[in-house]
Amino acid sequence: MLRFLTRRLALLALTLFLTSILVFASTQILPGDVARLILGREAQDQALQDLREELGLNQPLPVQYTAWLTGFVSGDWGRAFTGGRPPIRPLVMERLGRSMQLALVTLILTVPLSVTLGVIAGLRENTWIDSVINILTLAVVGLPEFVTGLVLINVFALGLGWFPTGAALSSDAPLGEALRQMILPATAAGFVMMAYIVRMTRAGVIDEMKKTYVRTAILKGLSRRQVIVRHVLRNALLPTVTVIALSIGWLIGGLIVIENVFNYPGLGRLMTAAVEDKDIPLMQATVMVVVFFFALANLAADVVYALLNPRIRLE
């Protein structure tokens, strides 16, 4: 297990390293002069020169990259170029916290419901209820979050008036109000994930029900109910845990769009704004943090999978 974990952690490091190169390389071919971007059109040549010196823009690229990487690893993330040049780390951490709140609400809303639906569909394979669940999940899997988000806004916010259209509340809003604002974005973010968990849970339950021990248990005289609750679910739901960890990665990608649809002040919105404003250090920091959490979710999925499958662990 230790060897497996070391391998996976090395892969995580490789992922972050590749990302840092891709992101750094991408930001280097961005059009436009960074110093002029910060100081504006009317800046004096001397001021521009000084700023370039300060930011190390005159140095060769490998030197710039190493300086950026060592700074980033040691926690010195520098200052943003735009929006009054705030220090990046506190800003990113605050937005990250907001995104995590939204992710948590999404998970609480979707995971129990989708596992239940998946189990029902699996146990009633090829009945009408299975078909209905199957068609519903097919309809929403792969729908872009901005479409589902806008449909939800139009029906439940503008139409019925149950929820607010945006979620741009301050961080000290009372919990009830904060939750009310997060329901719609969380639902939109959870749709694709939900469809995926339902489908995988269903497949797991169907596989498990076909195994011989189920027949043995029934022939032994246990009721169907007992067999399902005591034996089948326990085995069938284990792989679902892996699926949930994987979908958290998917959720992180989905939040980038959702936060823009609902004006939610999270990390994804900070990232898109940084990309739009060509705010290079902010762009680098936000992408690295998003990739870190995405890769971490994948790692968690692998570790859970390995814990459940000793064969992989020992490889």
State which amino acid sits at residue 162: W
Binding flag, residue 252, other proteins (CB under 8 A): yes
Binding flag, residue 257, other proteins (CB under 8 A): yes
Q: Smallest gap, in angstroms, from Cβ of residue 148 to other proteins? A: 9
Q: Smallest gap, in angstroms, from Cβ of residue 150 to other proteins? A: 6
- The CA dihedral of 234, 237, 239, 241, to the nearest 10 degrees, is -120
Contact, 62 vs 28, CB < 8 A? no
User: Helix or strand or coil: residue 79?
Assistant: strand
Binding flag, residue 113, other proteins (CB under 8 A): no
* Residues listed for the chain: 315
Q: Smallest gap, in angstroms, from Cβ of residue 193 to other proteins? A: 9
CA 68 vs CA 57, 258, 290: distances in Å: 11, 30, 18
Burial (0-12, 13-18, 19+ Cβ within 10 Å), 135: exposed
Binding flag, residue 59, other proteins (CB under 8 A): no
In angstroms, rounded to a whole number, what is the distance separating the alpha carbons of residues 271 and 277?
Answer: 10
In angstroms, rounded to a whole number, what is the distance separating the alpha carbons of residues 273 and 141?
Answer: 27
Q: Which stretch binds other proteins (CB under 8 A): 47-55, 232-240, 289-297, 305-313?
A: 289-297
What is the distance, to the nearest Å, from the Cα of residue 71 to the centroid of all Cα atoms in its chain? 26
Residue choice 278, 303, 308, 313 for contact with other proteins (CB under 8 A): 278
Q: Smallest gap, in angstroms, from Cβ of residue 15 to other proteins? A: 4
Q: Looking up tokens 């919105």, which residue turns up?
A: 269
Site for other proteins in 187-226 (CB under 8 A): 196, 203
Binding flag, residue 109, other proteins (CB under 8 A): no
In angstroms, rounded to a whole number, what is the distance separating the alpha carbons of residues 23 and 30?
Answer: 11
Residue choice 29, 160, 175, 219 for contact with other proteins (CB under 8 A): 29
Q: Smallest gap, in angstroms, from Cβ of residue 180 to other proteins? A: 21
Q: Which stretch binds other proteins (CB under 8 A): 76-84, 85-93, 171-179, 269-277?
A: 269-277
What x-and-dash track marks residues 139-158 binding other proteins by CB under 8 A? x-xxxxxxx--xx--x---x
Binding flag, residue 132, other proteins (CB under 8 A): no
Number of residues binding to other proteins, judged by CB under 8 A: 52
What is the distance, to the nearest Å, from the Cα of residue 202 to the centroid of all Cα atoms in its chain? 23
In angstroms, rounded to a whole number, what is the distance separating the alpha carbons of residues 129 and 42?
Answer: 67
Q: Smallest gap, in angstroms, from Cβ of residue 234 to other proteins? A: 22
Contact, 206 vs 239, CB < 8 A? no
Nearer residue to other proteins within complex by CB, 57 or 229:
57
User: Helix or strand or coil: residue 87?
Assistant: strand
Footprint on this chain of other proteins (rule: CB under 8 A) = 11-12, 14-15, 17-19, 22-23, 25-27, 29-31, 135, 138-139, 141-147, 150-151, 154, 158, 196, 203, 246-247, 249-250, 252-253, 256-257, 260, 271-272, 275-276, 278, 283, 287, 290-291, 294-295, 298
